[in-house]
Amino acid sequence: MRRTRSNEVQMMKVVKAVLVTFATLVAGIPALAALAAAFGDILDGIDAATLKAEAIKIGMRKKKKMNKLNLASIASKVANAIFAYGNDSSNPEMAYEANYPEYKLKKMKDIKLVNICKDILLIGQANKTALLDYGINPADLTNLDAAITVFDAIIPASQQEIDDHKDLMETIDALVREGLSLMKLKMDRVVKVAADANPDFSSHYFKARAIDDFVGKRRKVKPITGTGILLGTVTNSVDGSVIEEATVMIVELNLVVTTDEDGAYYFESVPVGNYTVRVTAATYLENTVKNVDITKDSEVTLDFALDADLSAPVVPLGS
């Protein structure tokens, strides 16, 4: 979802939370009750489409990442043997061409990794008899060839997955426009008419309408007075590296943001309350913290360190 749409959806969900909080009052205003029901249906549609889109996106990313790690692992085993053989046989050129430890392979760009692995495979096949003494047998070369083929095919995600994700994003965009239109053209008017008799509800409603959340450390506007801020970073528990595009959710409000390039997330104008905050990211185990208190005009920092999901299998081609 585009970041601007994410902001608008968050605002819409806070509006829904206000409508739910004042459900008895809303039910007593027939016009508003009908609009609130339609508004709820729109948000349910956005949630359903978002979940599907995220599942496709995470699936593509996870498939690619796990197979990349698998390829790097297999290739480094062959490369290490070639490197040792090159040094032992006084062939520095061969040793140089195979000087690729696993950590270097993992950091390579996708296309470069495939090309390097193909070179390693060719050298390995040309010296397969000599490499037997270095722990490399024909099965290792066959496995490397297969891993290259699988990863090379994954680099361009399947067109059907791309098309499905695009269709879902367009659906979300249309639903957001519909929800915003319903609020601006209809719901706002009804709430204004009812404002004199229900000032507390009207105040909460229009405060929610003013929310402009922004992901990350860069802030656009000051939070609404009487609400709180929740922010923090998401990192790898092992090496402390930041995790981009992790999904952070305030469960009770169903508010979601994603981490930026610094691994940072930021919720602005969070209503006062006690919440559960959940973080998920591709190839990492979910992390949940309960009883996060947001008090009036507070700024709460909540950092997460995620553990890698070591049980995640390598996804075979075509799955």
Q: Are residues 17 and 126 in the same domain?
A: yes
Domain containing 114 equals: 1-211
- Which 8-state DSSP code applies to residue 156? S
What pLDDT is recorded for position 311? Answer: 63
Q: Are residues 39 and 101 in the same domain?
A: yes
Percent of the chain with pLDDT over 90: 52
Note whether residue 317 is domain-resident: no
Domain boundary residue, one of 180, 211, 242: 211
Q: Are residues 138 and 254 in the same domain?
A: no
Report the alpha-carbon distance of residue 315 to residue 71 in Å, rounded: 12
For 260-295, what is each residue's pLDDT tens digit? 877 888 888 889 999 999 999 988 899 999 999 999
| Residue 298 and residue 230 in contact, taking contact as beta carbons nearer than 8 Å | no
255-285: string of b/e by CB count within 10 Å (b at 16+)?
bbbbbbeebbbbbbbbbeeebebbbbbbbbe
Q: Measure the CA dihedral 58/60/62/66, to 10°.
A: 180
The candidate with the shortest Cα–Cα distance to 307, out of 247, 250, 240, is 240
Read off the pLDDT band of 224 (50, 70, 90): low
The pTM for the full model equals 0.48
| Residue 253 and residue 276 in contact, taking contact as beta carbons nearer than 8 Å | no
* pLDDT (average), residues 170-193: 91
User: What residues contact 274, with CB distance under 8 A and at least 6 apart?
Assistant: 291, 292, 293, 294
E runs forming strands in the chain: 228-236, 247-250, 255-258, 264-270, 273-280, 287-294, 299-301, 304-306
For 230-255, what is each residue's pLDDT tens digit? 988 899 888 778 888 899 999 998 88
Q: Are residues 17 and 33 in the same domain?
A: yes
Domain boundary residue, one of 211, 244, 272: 211
For 32-67, what is each residue's pLDDT tens digit? 999 999 999 999 999 999 888 888 877 777 778 888
Q: Are residues 162 and 221 in the same domain?
A: no
Q: What is the CATH number of the domain that holds 278?
A: 2.60.40.1120
Q: Are residues 260 and 280 in the same domain?
A: yes
Note whether residue 315 is domain-resident: no
Distances (CA, A) of 230 to 213, 215, 248, 260: 11, 11, 11, 15
Q: Are residues 157 and 30 in the same domain?
A: yes
For 122-180, what is each residue's pLDDT tens digit? 999 999 999 999 999 999 999 999 999 988 887 776 667 778 888 998 999 899 999 99
Note whether residue 319 is domain-resident: no
Q: Which helix (H) or strand (E) holds 68?
A: helix 30-88
Note whether residue 237 is domain-resident: yes
Domain boundary residue, one of 211, 243, 274: 211
Q: Are residues 150 and 291 in the same domain?
A: no
What pLDDT is recorded for position 123? Answer: 96
> In the structure encoding, which two tokens stand for residue 251, read together?
């469960």
Note whether residue 64 is domain-resident: yes
Q: Is the pLDDT of residue 3 over 80?
A: no
Read off the pLDDT band of 216 (50, 70, 90): very low
Note whether residue 130 is domain-resident: yes
What is the three-class DSSP state of 235?
strand
For 106-120, what is each residue's pLDDT tens digit? 989 888 999 999 999
User: What residues contact 261, with CB distance under 8 A and at least 6 apart?
Assistant: 242, 244
| Residue 172 and residue 49 in contact, taking contact as beta carbons nearer than 8 Å | yes
Q: Are residues 24 and 161 in the same domain?
A: yes
Note whether residue 235 is domain-resident: yes
Q: Are residues 162 and 36 in the same domain?
A: yes
Report the alpha-carbon distance of residue 38 to residue 234 in Å, rounded: 36
- In the chain, how many domains are there? 2
In this structure, the chain runs to a length of 319
Q: Are residues 190 and 267 in the same domain?
A: no
Q: Are residues 147 and 267 in the same domain?
A: no
